[in-house]
Structure 1
Amino acid sequence: MIIEPFRFMTWLRLHGVDLLTVVLMAGIALGVNYAPPVPTRMFPIYNAEGSIVYPELAHSRREQIIPIWASALIGLFVPIFFFALFQIRRRSWDDFLTTTMGLLRSLLTSAVLQVIIKCLIGGLRPHFLAVCQPDITNKVGAGFRNIMFDSSVCTGNQEHIKDALKSMPSGHTTTAWAGLLYLALYFNAQLKVVSGHNPAYWKMILFFAPLLGAVLMSMVLVKDSHHHWYDIVVGGIIGSATALVAFRQTFAAIFDYRFNHLLLPRATSLFHRRPYLPVLGRGAYYTYQPINAIMPQDLPFAREGGWGYGVGEHASGAPGDATVLASSAVQHGISGAHRVAGGLSSNAVHLV
């Protein structure tokens, strides 16, 4: 197999649009995060008998156990550390940079989603009443028995009040799951934690370590009274969804152990129109397009990745993603498929 040497400028041109999108998404996340919340939420303070309606909103305001900046650094740099560490054996700049790009996709997409929801929908933090310091003297409420008010009755620190209106969803939790679930999937793919053999026990422990970290980073927000449990659940769903999609965009499978360590190729981009094929005999994409799928209604809207060019794959029974193995098996036999997948040769046995 002839492999062209890695060229950073080529990689940069192939991923240039993604890099510009990363900068754009980061700007959107920061801009929306510092924007004031939409002040439309009504809330009760006292009921007709004079008692607090929602004691769960009356917690005292405390400093966060894990600041948001620390959560962001953990979600970003802990995975990057292991991506770099695994290059001891992977030995590929393309692998390191493209895997990191997938992580950035996950983190920034989840960040933009959660800050938009925070700003437009939001919610009252457990310490809302403590920072609001409501004064309803000479104020007439709305709703049944006039017990509903908005943030105009608050007399506390305005910055704290704005923050206390943005409880839903949890940004810490979103970041934790977007970064650390992506890392757990990477561990599973590279170490073959769940695969066709019985692996060493430490691999299972390493797989669950980032998931434990994500759970702890999430649940500590209930302990320091900055979020409700449902804020954490929604944040976890957002972060997990972006991690799964970003990983699958980067690698040929999520759970199929035969393919989930294979980077999906990037052959063209706005800044690199000529197809880039660094491995002789390996195509620019993996596609399931049937050979007879030529009508517009047979094809997706996208024409990227080989769709619509009339060169379908004969996927002879590959139930997983990435039909490169099946097509190689047809052309070269099973040993050829093993070579494409980077599988073991007859004289190479890895014990780790």
Structure 2
Amino acid sequence: MLSASIRSSVLEIKRIASVHMRKERRDVESQSSSKTSFCTRHGLWWTFGIDIPLLLILLALIGLFELGVIPNHKAGFYCNDPALNFPFNGDTVTTEILMSTLLAGPLVFFAITEYIFVYVDYSESRIRRTCINTFYLYRTYIYGLIMNLSIVEVMKGIVGSPRPTFFDLCEPDAGKTCNGTEYVKDFKCTSTKYASWYQMDSYRSFPSGHTSLSVYCGLFLAWYLQRRAFNWSHRSIFMVPMLQLLCISYAAVCSLTRITDHRHHWWDVLVGSIIGLATVLYAVIISSNFSYDHSKIGDLKSQESRQTVRTLLYDERRPATVS
């Protein structure tokens, strides 16, 4: 009888403990759900109330700089300067080609790479996870790209350095009457061959925007491949290095053709390269607030099988953040 009493007491204790554990689990899940809902609302408020308006203001300012609505400084020139007397023959890499590759290329690149390397379990769609990963990677990329463009536009507007094709594009009025190597500070473009935008752009040489943007794009993609897809144990050991070489070659071609086309001086290209490198380092190392969880919290089995790549762009074991 005593043994039966003890057994019933033990069973009762287990039942009570089980009830308490289920209650605590429901409380934790409820708190987690409530916290996630709050973070989502908080993140959306910051995104639509602060981030997007600031981004639109910044893009508007860049557009006003580019269109000349916000005045640009004119640095002046020396009469008969041979370094500014090259004919304008167009661009090997046009602005349209550059911007299309800068915006569309990385998006496709991220999507294909993530689809190949992403981990998914039975409860998740591979395409959905690929889209989420691609979104957060592309957001980081665009953040650095806009910062790069902003720095270049401000420097162009402040310095106002003449291009090597300055005399052909601008045909400054003072250049027709000055003698020798006299320095001309005030001038007005009088060209009838080129539109007003080309005339204004003739004294926006420093630094090279093509160079800074292409270097940023090429190095960002090469860095991403190194941290995400590079592994000597893969079946193809040369695929990733060849793709990295292609990315760096893209940056080199866009940069060096600015000199061979006589669209920039060599120091413009050098400084543009430095800006591109600096913004890449900022985007992938310093701006760690773009981290995103690529795994499900609490799924220990998935965490064990997901020991792939933890990059400086995202950490797969960090909690999900909404911004």
TM bucket by the smaller chain? 0.5 to 0.7
Which residue is 2:11 aligned to? none
Instruction: Give how far 1:71 is off.
Output: 0.7
- Of 209, 215, 225, which residue of structure 1 is paired with 2:252? 215
- How far apart, in 1, do the equivalents of 2:85 and 2:175 lie? 19
Which residue is 1:148 aligned to? 183
Backbone CA RMSD of aligned residues: 3.8
Matched letter for residue 65 of structure 2: V
Change (3 A) 1:156 1:237: same
Correspondences of 1:266-345 after superposition (within 5 Å): 279-281=296-298, 339=303, 342-343=306-307
Instruction: Give how far 1:231 is off.
Output: 0.9
Change (3 A) 1:139 1:237: same
Q: Verify the 8 A CA contact 1:37 1:166 in the aligned structure 2.
A: no
> Secondary structure of the residue that 1:86 maps to in structure 2?
helix
- How far apart, in 1, do the equivalents of 2:197 and 2:148 lie? 24
Change (3 A) 1:37 1:228: farther
Unaligned runs of 5+ in 2: 1-28, 119-125, 309-323
Which residue is 1:84 aligned to? 111
- How far apart, in 2, do the equivalents of 1:10 and 1:178 lie? 31
- Of 133, 150, 154, which residue of structure 2 is paired with 1:116? 154
- Of 28, 33, 45, which residue of structure 1 is paired with 2:61? 28
- How far apart, in 2, do the equivalents of 1:278 and 1:191 lie? 18
> Secondary structure of the residue that 2:133 maps to in structure 1?
helix
Instruction: Give how far 1:244 is off.
Output: 1.9
> Secondary structure of the residue that 2:187 maps to in structure 1?
helix
Report the TM-score when normalising by structure 2.
0.67
Q: Verify the 8 A CA contact 1:98 1:250 in the aligned structure 2.
A: no
- How far apart, in 2, do the equivalents of 1:250 and 1:189 lie? 16
> Secondary structure of the residue that 2:58 maps to in structure 1?
helix
More helix by percentage = 2
- Bigger shift: 125-134 or 243-252? 243-252
Q: Verify the 8 A CA contact 1:37 1:118 in the aligned structure 2.
A: no
- Of 29, 41, 44, which residue of structure 2 is paired with 1:13? 44
Instruction: Give how far 1:164 is off.
Output: 0.5
- How far apart, in 2, do the equivalents of 1:44 and 1:150 lie? 9
Q: Verify the 8 A CA contact 1:57 1:124 in the aligned structure 2.
A: yes
Which residue is 2:239 aligned to? 202
Matched letter for residue 209 of structure 2: G
Cα deviation 1:230-269 (Å, max 9, x = unaligned): 11111121122112211225669xxxxxxxxxx7248xxx
Q: Determine what percentage of the aligned residue pairs are the same residue.
A: 21
Unaligned runs of 5+ in 1: 46-51, 253-262, 267-276, 283-335, 345-352
Report the TM-score when normalising by structure 1.
0.62
Change (3 A) 1:37 1:182: same
